[in-house]
Chain A
């Protein structure tokens, strides 16, 4: 079975919010209707987003490490938001594992948002239904697009390629390889929700070089000590033919 998911590399995310704006742009213009804002240009603006980038800091200044943390629906393999839905509006697609909301069936009771430990769902105050990341389901399943374009808007927009997209059940996919080889991890694994989205940790590539590795102190042939040139410079006889 296919389980589409994102793998987000915290090592290269620079916190530019390009994924946030491209997500909003694509999904607010789509067939599912706008993602409405309230007081967008006034005091206390608010609105519906599928994706947010938060920033965390570890350590005490000046010894700090900054983490930009993109946060969206994790498309859990055992999504707690789906069985609680009283209308069946919230569902997990059988064919690709994407967790979706049918906006025509949702009654806006918010129970699914209470059941999600990640806070991945947001109610649309205008349409009065629950909304969440769709992994750009209208892009990734649109066979009229070239394959390189069949990716979520956030993945295509990311300037540092911090967002990978693929099938985490296929062991050879780019996301599975990244999770396996780069130490990918899920969020809040304690709950057993098995999030499909994974994050890659901050990694530093450093090599340890010791002084004695640069100088060959124990060279028996003394290769480094080239023979001194003869007086008056090289002659034709000094050159080995």
Chain B
């Protein structure tokens, strides 16, 4: 498939935004359980603003993918059958919940509404945050299922796609939370950094398996089945046109194996190796800059990863466009 930069930025930006929100809420839960010091509302509201900005950035990027963005509202209608439609519904829902989560923290509406078992004070941000967490996980599922549900594209048609989107999004979000804490000088870098490393390693496992899987399988159909001529020596002589068409542009990446190998090693290094090394170094050196560098490198690596994700996909329609005489 031809890598679409609008979709690459959509999936990486919202992934980081969702992960950042999950990081904020995880921090709130930990402090509720007295495992972490309680943070100021300023921290949560500013963090939510950053997460919201990332989601909005992703939404803006997605507009460039559409031919007719003015009709995009129609995309919410087919949620019964289309994962894309479900994403179109869940994305604004998650944005709204994150907005109100940040807003209520900003307004300081954190007085407990009620107390469960005389130990767990529940305030409005805790409820909104729980709903936001649910929406965030649903959004990961919807985004990944857009690709994983296409059964003809075997490289994507796997639960690994969902796992990759989830772990890589969470990893970049927690990495950003670590960078954000370091920027504000809050002592949460080690906490977020640890979770970021765990998510990164989980992502390394699932992405590694999917990379390995995608180099080994064969497509279910071949040219014989595609045109129904069962001859062992079949060649294409003409495609029906001498110029290009949508079919030759949309479904081919046109990149050399060497280039793709460089992209592959590039993202493996930038997503999985360098950020982990940098965040560990940041812990050892107590540096405030290194977590930010770690996040920046991991995000750029994820852009490469998503680029590679598209080039891995071999569409069966390409059987009809193998050569031109």
Contact = CB atoms under 8 A, between A and B. Distances in A.
B233 interface: yes
| Interface size class of chain B, counting residues whose CB lies under 8 Å from the partner chain | 35 or more
Interface string B141-177: 0000010011111000000000000000000000000
A108 interface: yes
Contact of B146 (A44, A111, A190): A111
A119 B82 contact: no
B231 interface: yes
Interface in B28-78: 65-69, 71-72, 74-78
A138 interface: no
A54 B320 contact: yes
Interface string A39-70: 10000111111001111111110000111010
A109 B246 contact: no
26 contacts: A45-B243, A46-B243, A52-B239, A52-B240, A52-B241, A55-B236, A56-B236, A57-B235, A58-B229, A69-B227, A71-B240, A80-B152, A84-B83, A84-B150, A85-B82, A86-B84, A88-B74, A106-B67, A110-B67, A119-B247, A119-B320, A121-B246, A187-B226, A191-B151, A191-B220, A201-B229
A152 to B, nearest CB: 18
Among B229, B231, B233, chain A packs the most CB atoms within 10 A around the CB of B229
A214 to B, nearest CB: 34
B221 interface: yes
Contact of B78 (A48, A71, A88): A88
A85 B320 CA distance: 24
B147 to A, nearest CB: 9
B317 interface: yes
Contacts of A88: 74, 77-78
A167 B191 CA distance: 66
Contacts of A52: 239-241, 245
Nearest to B76: A86
A109 B65 contact: yes
Interface in A180-197: 185-191
Given A86-B75, A88-B74, A116-B317, A190 B237 contact: no
B228 A107 contact: no
A199 interface: yes
A209 B74 CA distance: 68
B118 interface: no
Nearest to A15: B238
Given A80-B152, A87-B78, A117-B221, A56 B234 contact: yes
B226 A188 contact: yes
A37 to B, nearest CB: 10
Given A88-B77, A114-B150, A191-B221, A57 B237 contact: yes
A11 B71 CA distance: 45
Given A80-B152, A109-B65, A56 B229 contact: yes
A7 interface: no
A20 interface: yes
B221 A113 contact: no
Given A117-B316, A122-B247, A185-B228, 10 more contacts: A46-B244, A48-B246, A49-B245, A107-B68, A110-B65, A110-B67, A115-B150, A119-B315, A187-B227, A199-B228
Interface in A7-55: 10, 17, 20, 39, 44-49, 52-55
Nearest to A105: B74
A229 to B, nearest CB: 59
A117 B317 contact: yes
Given A65-B231, A86-B88, A190-B225, A108 B152 contact: no
A187 B318 CA distance: 14
A112 to B, nearest CB: 10
Contact of B229 (A45, A67, A186): A67
Interface string B290-325: 000000000000000000000000011110110001
A123 interface: yes
A163 to B, nearest CB: 15
Interface string A181-225: 000011111110000000101100000000000000000000000
A92 to B, nearest CB: 12
Contact of B68 (A66, A85, A115, A129): A129
A84 B247 CA distance: 19
* Among all A-B residue pairs, the 9 with the closest Cβ atoms: A108-B67, A119-B317, A128-B67, A52-B240, A83-B81, A58-B231, A86-B85, A86-B75, A87-B74
B228 A123 contact: no
A18 B247 CA distance: 21
Nearest to B146: A111
Contacts of A48: 246
